[in-house]
Amino acid sequence: MSANHEHAHHHHEKESFLSKYIFTMDHKMIGKQYLVTAIIMGIIGIGLSGLFRLKLGWPDTKFPILEAILGSDWAPDGVLDSNMYLGLVTMHGTIMVFFVLTGGLSGTFSNLLIPLQIGARDMASGLLNMISFWLFFLSSIIMTFSLFIETGPAMAGWTIYPPLSALEEAQSGSGLGMTLWLFSMAIFIASSLLGGINYIVTVLNLRTKGMKMTRLPLTIWAFFVTAIIGLLSFPVLLSAAVLLIMDRMGGTSFYLSDITLSSGALDQTGGSPILYEHLFWFLGHPEVYIVLLPALGISSEVVATNARKPIFGYRAMIGSILAIGFLSFIVWGHHMFVTGMNPFLGGVFTFTTLLIAIPSAVKVFNYLTTLWKGNIILTPAMVFSVGMVSTFITGGITGIILADSALDISQHDTYFVVGHFHIVMGMSAILAMFAGIYHWFPKMYGKMMNKKLGYIHFWITIVCGYGVFLPMHFLGEGGMPRRYYENTAFPMFDHFLDLNTIISVFAIVGVLGQVVFFFNFFWSAFRGPRASKNPWKSTTLEWTTPIDHVHGNWDGPIPEVHRWPYDYSKPGQEEDYVMQDVPLGENEEEH
């Protein structure tokens, strides 16, 4: 704690530009650095999807814009090259999953909110926190850079299964592009681990007086469990990546066996590509919850605040976060039902996977009960959160079908899967991330974002999001495989031609619609009207801090906490919210 006290005394010192904005150790600034980096990566990530949707929506049209952006090697005469198509798909997946929804979501909001909401002066280690961001930044640069090399970026799908990803002869992107991908990911994982350790230690050790674990806002619970999941699963991906690097560069054969290429039989033999799949999905599935739990945490907070009602079943919500966190480690095999795994094992994974539906259902019902008989204010953050609950339901429901190994035989790797995970993981997390940005923007920049633009942004996003991903379920039911450069090689899919065009129109409008957000974000950060101290009349501690950031968060002593974070519309109180640092009145029960 001594470090924290020192901060309190030194916060009046004038800081240089470099130490304030670049090599800062202040968690609030680091959170903003994460956010801005993630927004820029997000522009790239969704931009790529817009490019390949052009090809999928209009398979026979030439788009000069493709040649202008990708160059005449990858899009001669405006016709996308089939290798580059896979490159775009791969990079879109990688950037969105890791750099936007993992680094962006956890990095921004864990950093911003953990110290503010638990009542700490800063993270446990400001230095680790700074290193964590700069590693994230470095890995973002490397990943982005790999888009510009001659042999193209990684092209083996975001899961980069070997041997495809291990052998340059199999695919041009498995050369330098894949090397850069692997190194970028290794750095990213290091960043994520440093961040995760910091979050865990901070939540455990630096809570202010009175902030029991059972008084933590659900956001903090979500970030805390997310950090634990990340800490346990990311090292496994790191080892998978290191083994792959060795197979590629060191002549080992962890993943390679019995392979013949046009240049002849490969020397390396005796490994198993399935080993990689196990290692990858041991992270890959928890990764879904690394993305989703913060989203659920943010939504809980926003929904309770704007329904002016305590979140229903606070302890059940914590219980389901923990249950989801635990179960997420024993379900990875459902990505591998058709790899030839032992059918008994497949049965076990079906069982554990379907179990996750129970805590998820509890969460959904608790959200609905929180809204029931509430007094709902539809702020921009709130509309995004309502949208998030809807996508969580819609995407979760179709997950039940994919979890069922028998059904997965005929759904695996079809567009049904693409539709499912984009709704449940992609849209839910993105909507919650936007909700978080609109909700905590006043805390980050001391300014307000434009409300009307927020509404416009929401309606474009949800309509286009559903417009893109709902029809994909029908493509999948029709047997259409994902990651096909064009579907016209199979005339049996021709009746889907117009559906694919519709999807592409929604996708492109949705992508362009994000301009509304970018504009609103950057414009408001500089020119938005000044926010008041607690604009949403919320109960949690971050709204007790001064509007202008101070290093150390509170000018005076850290407030003491006397109650749980959801005292909204408590009977017998004057206002419809009571902040956490207000002592319990006489004869007042906690909740």
Partner 1 sequence: MEKLLIFLVIAIVAIAVVQIVRVYELASKVKGGGVEETVTKGENALNANLFILFMIAFFGSIIWMMFVYGDGGLGEAASVHGQEIDSLLTLNWWIILPVFFITNTLLFVFVRMYLYNPNRRSLYFAHSNKLEMIWTVFPSMALAVIIIFGLKTWNSVMNPEEKGTIIEIYAQQFGWTARYAGEDNKLGRADYKLITNDNPLGVISKEGIEGSYAYLEKKIEGLESKLAENKVGDEYLLPDAKIKEMTDKLESLKRQKYRIKGGIDKGIEPGVFEMANNDILTKELHLIKGETYTFQFRSKDIIHSAWFPHFRAQMNCVPGMITNFTFTPNKTTLEVRADEFTKEHYKKINEFHNERMRNIGEPEEEVEFDFVLMCNKICGASHYNMQMKVIVETEEEFKAWIESQKQIDGGTPKYWGSQTVAEAK
Site for partner 1 in 355-374 (CB under 8 A): 355, 357-358, 361-362, 364-365, 367-369, 371-374
If you write DSSP's letter for every residue of 313-348 in order, what string do you get? THHHHHHHHHHHHHHGGG-GGGG-TTTT--HHHHHH
Q: Applying CB under 8 A, which of residues 52, 199, 384, 568 lies at the interface with partner 1? A: 568
Measured over the CA atoms of residue 111, residue 117, residue 122 and residue 128, the dihedral's sign is: negative
Q: Encoding tokens for residue 433?
A: 């991330």
Q: Is 58 among the residues that bind partner 1 (CB under 8 A)?
A: yes
How far is Cα 47 from Cα 57, in angstroms, rounded to an integer?
15
Q: Is 167 among the residues that bind partner 1 (CB under 8 A)?
A: yes
The amino acid sitting at 11 is H
Please choose, out of 27-35, 98-106, 185-193, 381-389, the segment that lies near partner 1 by the rule CB under 8 A: 381-389
Q: Encoding tokens for residue 470?
A: 């709902």
- 272 neighbors 259 (Cβ within 8 angstroms): no
Q: Is 571 among the residues that bind partner 1 (CB under 8 A)?
A: yes
- 114 neighbors 202 (Cβ within 8 angstroms): yes
How far is Cα 206 from Cα 248, in angstroms, rounded to an integer?
44
Binding characters for partner 1, 430-469, by CB under 8 A (x = yes): ------------------xxxxxx-xx--x--xx--x---
Q: Is 390 among the residues that bind partner 1 (CB under 8 A)?
A: yes
Q: Residues in contact with partner 1, total (CB under 8 A)?
A: 149
Please choose, out of 129-137, 181-189, 215-223, 349-357, the segment that lies near partner 1 by the rule CB under 8 A: 349-357
Q: Is 205 among the residues that bind partner 1 (CB under 8 A)?
A: no
How far is Cα 137 from Cα 212, in angstroms, rounded to an integer?
34
Considering beta carbons, is residue 134 or 455 the nearer one to partner 1? 455
Considering beta carbons, is residue 50 or 195 the nearer one to partner 1? 50
Please choose, out of 81-89, 113-121, 236-244, 290-298, the segment that lies near partner 1 by the rule CB under 8 A: 81-89
Q: Is 484 among the residues that bind partner 1 (CB under 8 A)?
A: yes
Please choose, out of 33-41, 283-291, 354-362, 424-432, the segment that lies near partner 1 by the rule CB under 8 A: 354-362
Distance of closest approach, residue 583 Cβ to partner 1, in angstroms: 19
How far is Cα 175 from Cα 572, in angstroms, rounded to an integer?
68
Binding characters for partner 1, 502-541, by CB under 8 A (x = yes): ---x--xx--xx-xx--x---x----xxxxx--xx-----
Please choose, out of 108-116, 138-146, 178-186, 566-574, the segment that lies near partner 1 by the rule CB under 8 A: 566-574
Residue 437 CB neighbours (<10 A): 23
Binding positions for partner 1, 291-330, rule CB under 8 A: 307-310, 312-316
Q: How far apart are the first and last CA of the chain?
A: 30
Distance of closest approach, residue 415 Cβ to partner 1, in angstroms: 11
Q: Is 269 among the residues that bind partner 1 (CB under 8 A)?
A: yes
Q: Is 161 among the residues that bind partner 1 (CB under 8 A)?
A: yes
Three-state SS string over 204-268 comes to HHCCCCCCCHHHCCHHHHHHHHHHHHHHHHHHHHHHHHHHHHHHHHCCCCCCCCCCEECCEECCC
Considering beta carbons, is residue 36 or 497 the nearer one to partner 1? 497
- 145 neighbors 123 (Cβ within 8 angstroms): no
